[in-house]
Amino acid sequence: MSERFIFGNWKMAQSLAKGQEFLAGWKFQAESVRVGLFLSYPHIKPLMDIAPKTLEFGAQDFSDEQSGAYTSEVSAEMLSEIGCRWSLLGHSEVRQRHGESEERLSKKLDLAEKHKIQVVFCVGENLEAREAGQLEEVLERQLSVLKAFSGDCLIAYEPVWAIGTGRTASTAEIEEAHNLIRQEIPGVALLYGGSVKPGNSKEILSLEAVDGLLVGGASLSLKDFVSICESALESS
Ligand code: PGA
């Protein structure tokens, strides 16, 4: 059975108390499925400290600067210091809200490599680009910064129009995008994200081109997230 990755992105949507409750009820464990949670900064250490060792923890972003006068920012080194070994980079909400640029992402990748943070690098086109037939062009541009990166990374394909909308990409759309990504960056595990839920996770995971899932909304519910993790066992 090939290794699967099921990652939850809790965004800014879970309180610390709810997170503690979630972890108190966490029982899922399977050798072939790596499960991780991407959390807001203040929750990483307290939740990591009470979690079973089988769960991995990551941040949702970090600064493109090493250290210095950057009020409000959190560095890769600080994550590393608390034992946080993963981070998302390039999530579409960060790209949109913080005007994330390829140049800044490239600096963040250098810092991830330096501080040994494993990256889940997010890419995906918005609806306008999809409708204009620009999928390939967008993916190529977003992936260009990974070419010089030799640290540990996974890539998550998350079409922006499928995130939090309830509209999942079709299996054909996922396969097309994942094959394009694989051509650009071979040998990297690929996750799909965008309205993944217990009702569609098994079908998506059964695709040859998919190694795992990045789950937003449905990862906040213990029952739904466990059921998605279980579907990784059924679909291998
Ligand atoms: P969603 O979010 O599952 O709620 O669509 C996915 C993500 O943003 O990573």
Query: How far apart are the CA of 130 and the centre of ligand 1, in A?
Result: 18
> Whose Cα sits closest to atom 7 in ligand 1?
216
CB of 158 shorter than 6 A to ligand 1: yes
Answer for the pair 213, 193: CB distance below 8 angstroms, yes or no: yes
- In 3D space, the residue among 59, 56, 55 whose CA is nearest the CA of residue 44 turns out to be 59
Per-residue pLDDT of the chain (236 residues; tens, 9 = 90+): 589 999 999 999 999 999 999 999 999 999 999 999 999 999 999 999 999 999 999 999 999 999 999 999 999 999 999 999 999 999 999 999 999 999 999 999 999 999 999 999 999 999 999 999 999 999 999 999 998 888 889 999 999 999 999 898 999 999 999 999 999 999 999 999 999 999 999 999 999 999 999 999 999 999 999 999 999 998 76
Neighbours of 129 (CB within 10 A): 17
Distance (Å) of CA 93 to CA 60, 98, 222? 10, 8, 24
Assigned token pair, 231 = 């579907």
Neighbours of 146 (CB within 10 A): 23
Answer for the pair 114, 87: CB distance below 8 angstroms, yes or no: no
Q: Is 18 exposed, middle or buried (0-12, 13-18, 19+ CB in 10 A)?
A: middle
| Helix H or strand E segment including 199 | helix 198-205
Which of 6, 7, 9, 87 most suits a substitution to test ligand 1, by most atoms within 8 Å of the C-beta?
Answer: 9
Q: What is the DSSP string of 169-193?
A: PPHHHHHHHHHHHHHHSTT--EEEE
Q: For residue 88, give the ligand 1 atom closest to its CA.
A: 9
